[in-house]
Amino acid sequence: MSDKTLYSYTGLFDTPDEIIKAANQVAKDGYKKFDVHTPYPVHGMDKAMKLGSSPLGYVALVLGLGGALLALGIIYFMVVVDYPVIIGGKPYFAFPAFVPILFEVTVLLASVGTVAAMLFFLFKFPNNAHPLHDTDYLKATSCDKYGISIQAEDAKFDEAGISGYFESLGAKSITPIYLDNEEINTKHKVLEPKFIGFLVVVFIIVSGATYISLNKLMIIPPFSWMMEQEKVVPQESFSVFKNERGMQQPVQGTVARGLIPYAFKGKPEEAGKFLVNPLVPTKDILAEGKNKFEVFCSPCHGNLGEGDSRLRGHFPNPPSLHSEKVRQWTDGRIYHVITDGQNVMPGYTSQMTREERWATVLYIRALQRSQNAKESDLL
């Protein structure tokens, strides 16, 4: 026996009350290096063992604050320094918008970091052997007994008297626990080559698998079928055509489906002469024209077309649509302004369909009549 090294003496108890009392006594007698093992958490044990509060709270606090600062730094670098984009008219450094992300990162770092700190610093991971493992003592305390183990390292530990001490506590079965040879002089293994090697292997496997699946696997059939589809995508070469371009000009003399080219580009007078409004002013069409006018035209021309822009000087105020000139214009002439633009006013071909443009013209006609009503217009 004596050639083995003593780790601790253990004693078993039958009830939670007894173990609390015993733990209380052991702590009171000045023992520091002892531990209690119970089948389930026993309330009041922290107090009985005179345990201080866990350092993990501070780890969580520091990591949480660190997480918040880190996230703030990253966001700041990304959206203010490296790639500033105005989003929603907000300043680059739009703090309220960052808060949800700051919050998330704070929680993430605090929780993951706390668990990691617990594993590596308190549980000494990757060490996984403990002298108490596989002892009858631990088997009993994970079943229906409550035990105390006082370590031989403790300053007050006295091998001769310890059995008697346990008896005085009222312990039932008192056993010494010896260290296995491999458990002697175990250091924390975090920096051991084996463990670091293990981490390196894990790193290589994970990153290798990611690399292969994204860069190699995707171009091997059948995984490649998704990428290599029988169609021409923009900017691609295509051997069927003589010039080998995927994107071709329309054939001479044809137009794309649904496209009707505008024949009077830059020719307002001719447009006024030859274009005829295909629509008749029904209630629906006027309603449609009103809608489009208020969406597209009123910001500059005002709701009644009087040129009282709502843009408050951010754009040159347009002339009134009720001028003698515009009232004399044909529908086609007004249509031309909407389609082709006029000086600083842009054209609206891409925003409004032809029908919508003609409907807007009809609505302008209605507006003009409303502002210059004749007696015959009254019912």
Q: Contact residues for another protein (CB under 8 A)? A: 16-17, 43-44, 53, 57, 88-90, 96-97, 99-100
Min separation Cβ 343 and ligand HEC, Å? 4
SS3 per residue for the chain = CCCCCEEEEEEEECCHHHHHHHHHHHHHCCCCCEEEECCCCCCCHHHHCCCCCCCHHHHHHHHHHHHHHHHHHHHHHHHHHHCCCCCCCCCCCCHHHHHHHHHHHHHHHHHHHHHHHHHHHHCCCCCCCCCCCCCHHHHHHCCCCEEEEEECCCCCCCCCCHHHHHHHHCCCCEEEEECCHHHCCCCCHHHCHHHHHHHHHHHHHHHHHHHHHHHHHHHCCCHHHHCCCCCCCCCCECCCCCCCECCCCCCCCCCCCCCCCCCCCCCHHHHHHHCCCCCCCCHHHHHHHHHHHHHHHHHHHCCCCCCCCCCCCCCCCCCCCCCHHHHHCCHHHHHHHHHHCECCECCCCCCCCHHHHHHHHHHHHHHHHHHCCCHHHCC
Is 360 a binding residue for ligand HEC by CB under 6 A? The answer is: yes
Q: How many residues interact with ligand HEC (rule CB under 6 A)?
A: 23
Which residue number, 42 or 345, has a Cβ lying nearer to ligand HEC?
Answer: 345
Is 344 a binding residue for ligand HEC by CB under 6 A? The answer is: yes
Min separation Cβ 43 and another protein, Å? 5
Min separation Cβ 46 and another protein, Å? 11
Stretch that binds ligand HEC, among 98-106, 202-210, 260-268, 333-341 (CB under 6 A): 333-341
Which residue number, 88 or 221, has a Cβ lying nearer to another protein?
Answer: 88
Which residue number, 96 or 253, has a Cβ lying nearer to another protein?
Answer: 96
Min separation Cβ 307 and ligand HEC, Å? 8
Which residue number, 99 or 212, has a Cβ lying nearer to another protein?
Answer: 99
Name which of residues 284 to 323 contact ligand HEC (CB under 6 A).
Answer: 296-297, 299-301, 315-316, 318-319, 321, 323
